[in-house]
Amino acid sequence: MIIRHSNTKLWRLIRLVCMVMMITIIIVSSTTTNTITSTNDSFFQLVLCIISC
Instruction: Indicate the helix (H) or strand (E) that contains 11.
Output: helix 2-31
Contacts of residue 11, defined as CB under 8 A and 6 or more positions apart, other chains included, come to 53
Report pLDDT for 2.
Answer: 58
Q: What pLDDT score does 13 carry?
A: 86
List the chain pLDDT tens, one digit each, 53 residues. Answer: 555 666 788 888 888 888 888 888 777 776 765 555 656 677 777 777 777 76
Longest CA–CA span in the chain (Å) reads 49
pTM of the model: 0.46
Category of 7 on φ-ψ map: left (φ > 0), alpha (ψ -120 to 50) or beta: alpha
Would you state the pLDDT for residue 15?
Answer: 84
In whole angstroms, what is the distance from residue 4 CA to residue 23 CA? 28
